[in-house]
Structure formats: structure tokens, C-alpha cells
Amino acid sequence: MSTIAPPRPPAAPVPSAPRRATGLLLRWWRRLTAMRTAIVLLFLLALAAVPGSLLPQRSLSQNNVRQYFTDHPTLAPWLDRLFLFDVFSSPWFAAVYLLLFVSLIGCVLPRGLEHFRAMRAAPPPAPRNLLRLPDSGTLSTQLTGPEALDVVEEELRVRRFRVVRREGELSAEKGYLKETGNLLFHLSLIALLLGLAGGKLWGYEGSILVTEGQGFCNSFQQYDTHSSGPLVDSGDLSPLCVDLEDFRAEYEENLTAASFTADIAYGAPGEEGRTTTIGVNEPLRLDGDRVYTTGHGFSPTFTVTRPDGTALEDVSVPFLPVDQATMASEGALKVPDLGGDGEDQLAVRGFFAPTGLIQGGILTSVDPRPLAPQVAIQAFQGYLGLDSGIPQSVYSLDSRQIDRGSLTEVGAANLSVGESMTLPDGTTIAFTGYRQFAAFQFSHDPGQVWVLASSIAMLTGLLGMLLLRRERVFARAVAGARDGGTVLTLASLTRGSGESAPRFAALTDDLGAALGTRAPEPEDHPRDT
């Protein structure tokens, strides 16, 4: 006997390619906007910033990067290919930063809309079995059900609960600010990241050494080193000039620095400057611009006189400190055009000691204060190579010119103030004194106020998350079976810090006392005689 096979169910229709692509994109979007993904990306961002703190960055010091290439000629090129000397402007750092933005925005905004709807919605109805909740109990009273619920509602409203009455029961809720603090924290984090990104895009800074009596204007051409965001043009710089009138350094008895202050005059180019005093932690603040003092040093002054009488008088040259404890400094004076031709140029390499002491024919410094300034100099003549097209530091001589013999040493001496040295060709180099210089940093960050406000909002939201509690209280009144009174069932749900049982016990005690005060007194019946 043959059997007939049952008909097969029709095959499920295969979704079209656009529908499959849409579903895949939706799954990726849900994973990207999950809070877990945002936390992972935040961790990756912090991890990606670690090389920026361990390796020198071009945006901060190109000289340190060059020195790293000199010290590690094999490793440095490979690190440079990975953008590890430009971490914060690298493509992979920007990718993590952008993904974190998208993840946070996609995660926080829907939660914000949901929280807004929850704040407008009424508290949920009481569960069917209140005694199953973690904190629950019963109270008996001689009041009727509506009267007992009136007492509960009054007590909860005093405690700032939102109360909704339903038939025979009551629901109350408070602590919405806890979730508001959570959202405020995450929205402020987004604002903080936006402020930091805006500061990097539209911000700039420059550093320069200024000797007393000199000044500078806010221009990339004048700064020793500068960095700027990709959206900054040279015409966007604030029109400001700063002149250094006087610099003072004070020291403790143990020769540690106590304070550095600089008297400056500032104003727009061509205008009469206003005077003020700035210090290390007291910068000049002007509409988003900051002028900081980041260091100081000495600029020895020299007078160079050629045999024909041509003189370069009292020229100041900043010498960079090599020992912060004693302020011993090194520097160079280059004189390319004081008489002679291109092959008879003069250069002086020197060591300045604010309080000099010669030991074994070698000059050292024993005090950072300029008590007995001395300078040890070496004079060179020849070709400086300034017009060769190869960049040179203004604070040192090009050692390659000395190694190849283009510069030849023609004299050396240790000089105090007022002393001089005469070279074989009759040129005289006199040490005439010193001035002090200050290292200024001009910084423009349009996101500073935004970052400050975001940080304060983040702290406020974090405190709300940690200190506030989300509480729900339910009450149901049922007629008593024995004495005809009312049995009031209470329950509470708490989400937040701290134990909930003591708070619920205190609420129950207060409600019991309030119900006892409202209950009618029993009637007195006369005794039978």
C-alpha cells in the first residue's frame, strides 16, 4: 500500500540584497551605540594617548624629535611611519576619537529621550503581590481605606514623592535626578571631547625667548617654535604685541626658586601698551589668549670691535640653561657681517656662570643668582654657513662647520664683566654685562571655557549619580477581616547607594504614627448598675 507524502511547507522567501544590507547596518549600529562599546572605545582612546606621553611630539618640540632620531637612527623611522611622533594628529587616533563620538551620541541621545518620556509618565501601578518585594510590610488602622491612603499620600508628598492614586492603591516615585545626573555626565563628556577637538582645530601656540628691553608680536614668523590647528590661518592670529620691561627671580635660602615675575607692556600693534605683571601661575588673560612665562635665563652682552674700528656694541645673546640648579648656560654669538668677506666671519661660543668660580682653569657656576657673573668664550673665524640653505640653531654653532674646517678656533678666555679678549687679527671681544630673558608662551585655545563648563557639569552629574537614589513606594488598602478596620500593605523598591531597609523602616514608623494620630478614639460605654 503506497503512502502519499505530506506536502512540504513553502520555503521562506529570501530577503533581497538591500534588505540584508540594511539589517547588517542596523546590527552594526546597535553594537556601536551600546554602552559597552563606548567604554571600550574610551579605554582605547586613553591607551592610544600613552605613546604621546612617552615619546617626543613634533607639535611640542621638534628639537626633541630630531634628537630622538639621532639617538635611535634605526627605531625612529619605523615609529615615524606609525605616526608615533604625531600621535594626536594621526589617522588612527582620529578614527578612535570619531568612533567614540558616534558611539556616545548614539547611546546617550536615545536614553535622554526615553528619560524625558519617563519623567512625564505617571508612576507604574502597584504589583499584584506587594509582600514579595524586598522591602515590604503591613499596618493596621481603624481608618477607612481612602482615609488611610490620604495619610500615606500626605506623608509621601512631604518627602517630595510624585504620587498617583488609583482605586484602592497608591504609587509614588522620586529620584529622577539620578538618571538626569547620569545623562548630564555623558552629555558633558561629549561636550568635553568636542571642546578639546575644537581647541585642537582652531587653537595655536608659540614660544619665544625675549630679553629685557625687547618684545615680540603674535606672529608665526617671530616665534622660535609654534604649532597650530589645521583650520588656523596666519591672518586669524590675535593682534597683540608684548614688551618685556623687567624680569625678577627670587630664591630661597637653599637656592631653590621662590618666584619669577615679569613686568610687561601689551597692546595692539601701533598702540600705547598697558603695563602689568605676570608670573608662572599668573598669566596674562585676554579674550581666549594666554601669555605664560615658562622659564628664564641670562643674555650676556658683548661688544665686538674690528681692527678698522667697526663695532657691534652691547649685543645681547640668550644663553640657554644647562643646569637649572646653578643656571649655568651655554650659547653662541654669530657676527657674519661685521667687516671682512664671507670667508672671514666671526662666531663666539660661550659658557655663562651667574656666580662664577674657576677650578683648575675651568669655569663653573655655584649659585643661580648673578653675584659674580663670568663667561668662558671660544672665538672662531671662517665661514658660518648661514646662507647654505641648511637650517641652524640661533643658540649654538653648527658643529659640522667646525668638523669640516670651515670654522677655525682663534682664541679662548675666561672673562669677568668689563674684561676683553683680543684675537690675532686685532679684533676685540669685550664682556660688558648681562640681561635677563624670559621664555614666553602665547596660547590661544577657543575651547577652554567650553572645557571648563563641561568639566563642572560632568562633576555635577557624577555627584548626582553617586548620591541620589531612585525610589518607588506602593501602598494598598484592604478591609480588615476581624475588627473591621483597614490593613495597609506597603512596599518599596530602591535603586542607588546605601541600604534601603533602614529607610523603609523609618517610613513605616512615621506612617504608623501618622495613622495612629488620625484614628478615631474608641467610644466610652456606661457600665451597668
Short-list 113, 133, 131, CA closest to 121: 113
Question: Is the separation of the CB atoms in 282 and 267 below 8 Å?
Answer: no
Provide the residue-wise pLDDT of the chain in tens; the chain has 529 residues. 455 656 666 655 666 777 778 878 888 888 887 878 888 888 888 888 888 888 888 766 676 787 888 888 888 889 888 888 888 778 888 888 888 888 888 888 888 888 788 777 788 888 888 888 888 888 888 888 888 888 888 989 988 898 889 888 899 988 888 888 888 888 888 888 888 888 888 888 888 999 999 999 999 888 888 888 888 888 888 899 999 999 998 888 888 888 889 999 999 888 888 999 998 888 999 887 899 988 889 999 999 998 888 888 888 889 999 888 889 999 999 888 765 556 678 889 999 999 999 888 889 999 999 999 999 999 998 888 777 667 777 888 888 888 888 888 899 999 999 999 999 888 999 999 999 999 999 999 888 888 999 999 999 988 888 888 888 899 998 886 566 678 888 998 887 656 778 888 888 888 888 888 876 665 544 444 3
Cα distance between residue 460 and residue 112, in whole Å: 17
Question: Is the separation of the CB atoms in 377 and 429 below 8 Å?
Answer: yes
CA 227 to each of CA 58, 143, 204, 216, 411: distance values in angstroms, whole numbers, following the listed order = 9, 78, 6, 17, 40
**Residue 17 Rama label (left phi>0; alpha psi -120 to 50; beta):** alpha
* pLDDT score recorded for residue 526: 45
Taking residue 433's Cβ as centre, other Cβ atoms within 10 Å add up to 16
Short-list 296, 302, 267, CA closest to 279: 296
Which letter does DSSP use for residue 73 in this model?
T
Q: Hey, which bits of 42-184 come out as E strands?
A: 135-141, 162-166, 169-174
Cα distance between residue 351 and residue 365, in whole Å: 10
Question: Is the separation of the CB atoms in 244 and 264 below 8 Å?
Answer: yes
Per residue in 10-26, is it b (16+ CB within 10 Å) or e — as a string?
A: eeeeeeeeeeeeeeeee
Taking the CA atoms of residue 81, residue 86, residue 88 and residue 92 in that order, the dihedral angle to the nearest 10 degrees is: -10
Cα distance between residue 275 and residue 452, in whole Å: 28
Cα distance between residue 420 and residue 406, in whole Å: 25
User: Which helix or strand (DSSP H or E) is residue 460 part of?
Assistant: helix 448-467
* pLDDT score recorded for residue 117: 81
What is the distance in angstroms between the CA of the first residue and the CA of the last residue of the chain? 104
Question: Is the separation of the CB atoms in 189 and 181 below 8 Å?
Answer: no
What is the residue type of 101? F
Taking residue 4's Cβ as centre, other Cβ atoms within 10 Å add up to 5
Cα distance between residue 224 and residue 212, in whole Å: 17
Question: Is the separation of the CB atoms in 33 and 106 below 8 Å?
Answer: yes
* pLDDT score recorded for residue 527: 42
Q: Which three cell numbers stand for residue 433?
A: 654685562
How far, in whole angstroms, is CA 218 from its chain's centroid? 24
Give the 3-state secondary structure of residue 458: helix
Q: Hey, which bits of 74-132 come out as E strands?
A: none
Question: Is the separation of the CB atoms in 332 and 347 below 8 Å?
Answer: yes
Cα distance between residue 154 and residue 429, in whole Å: 95
CA 117 to each of CA 34, 112, 124, 136: distance values in angstroms, whole numbers, following the listed order = 20, 9, 13, 28
User: Which helix or strand (DSSP H or E) is residue 315 part of?
Assistant: strand 311-316
Short-list 393, 383, 318, CA closest to 347: 383
- Phi, psi dihedral angles at 92 (to 5 degrees): -70, -35
CA 58 to each of CA 67, 89, 263, 271: distance values in angstroms, whole numbers, following the listed order = 11, 10, 31, 35
CA atoms within 13 A on the CB side of 382: 18
Task: Give me the helices (H) in 145-230, please.
Answer: 145-158, 176-202
CA 238 to each of CA 132, 207, 221, 410: distance values in angstroms, whole numbers, following the listed order = 68, 15, 14, 47
Which burial class, exposed, middle or buried, applies to 303 when counting CB atoms under 10 A from its CB (0-12, 13-18, 19+)?
middle
* pLDDT score recorded for residue 256: 81
Sign of CA dihedral 334, 336, 338, 342: positive
Give the 3-state secondary structure of residue 160: coil
Which letter does DSSP use for residue 130 in this model?
G
